[in-house]
Amino acid sequence: MPLGVQSALAVGLGALIGTFAPSVGEQLKLLGDIFLNLVQMVVLPLVFPLIVLGIARMESVKKVGRVAGKAVLYFEVVTTVILLISVTLAELTGIGKGAPVAGGDTKSLESMDQGVDFHELILHSVPKNVFAAFTEGNLLAAIVFALFLGVGMAAIGEKSAPFSSVLESVSAAMFKVVGYVIRLAPLGVLGFISYDVAHYGFGNLKSLLGFIAVVYAGLAIVLGVVFPVIALIYRIRYVDLLKQIGGLVGLAFVTRSSEAVLAPLMGKLEAFGVSRSTSSFVVPLGYSFNSDGSVLYQATALVYLAHAYGADTSIPSLLLMVGVLVVLSKGMAGVTSASIVVLLAAGKSVGLPAEGVALLVGVDFIVDMARTAVNVVGNALAAAVVDRSEKKRDAHQDGQDTQEVATADDEAKADDEGTAPAEPAEVGASKGSS
The contacts of residue 190 (CB under 8 Å, 6+ apart) are: 10, 13, 14, 17, 28, 31, 32
Predicted pLDDT at 218:
94
DSSP letter (8 states) at residue 138: -
**Which of 249, 176, 211, 263 lies closest to 93, judged by CA?**
211
> Given this model, what pLDDT does residue 423 score?
46
Residue 191 lies in a domain: yes
| pLDDT for 362 | 64
Q: Which residues of the chain have pLDDT under 70?
A: 4, 59-61, 100-121, 200-207, 327-328, 330-341, 345, 349, 354-355, 358-359, 361-362, 394-434
Taking each continuous run of H as one helix and of E as one strand, the counts in the chain are: 20, 0
Give CA–CA dist 168/143, Å, rounded.
17
CA distance 296 to 426: 57
Q: What is the CATH number of the domain that holds 199?
A: 1.10.3860.10
Residue 247 lies in a domain: yes
Distance (Å, rounded) from C-alpha 77 to C-alpha 368? 23
Q: Return the closest-CA partner of residue 265 out of 256, 251, 32, 139.
A: 251
Q: How far is CA 134 from CA 44, 264, 284, 420, in A?
A: 7, 20, 15, 65
Please report how the helices 3-20 and 238-255 are oriented relative to each other, as an axis angle in degrees rounded to 10. Answer: 30
Q: Where are the alpha helices (DSSP H) in 313-423?
A: 315-328, 338-349, 354-361, 364-417
C-alpha to C-alpha distance for 96 and 48, rounded to whole angstroms: 44
Residue type, 215: V
Whether 329 and 291 have beta carbons less than 8 Å apart is answered as yes
- Residue 116 phi/psi, 5° resolution? -120, 115
Q: What is the DSSP letter of 58?
A: S
Asked if residue 53 lies in contact with residue 164, where contact means CB atoms within 8 angstroms, the answer is yes
CB 333 within 8 A of CB 116: no
CB under 8 Å to 14, separation ≥6 — which residues? 25, 28, 189, 190, 191, 192, 193, 194, 197
Task: Assess if residue 411 is contained within a domain.
Answer: no
Cα–Cα distance between 187 and 6 in angstroms, integer? 9
Q: Specify the number of domains making up the chain.
A: 1
What pLDDT score does 403 carry? 61
**Is 426 part of any domain?**
no
Find the domain containing 159 and state its range. 3-401
d(CA 389, CA 401): 18
Residue 414 within a domain: no
Number of C-beta neighbours around residue 288 at 10 A: 18
pLDDT in tens, 17-57: 988 998 998 999 899 889 878 877 887 888 788 888 878 87
Question: What angle separates helix 364-417 from helix 262-272, to the nearest 10 degrees?
Answer: 40
- Integer Cα distance of 268 and 279 in angstroms: 10
Q: Is residue 116 part of a domain?
A: yes
pLDDT at 120: 65
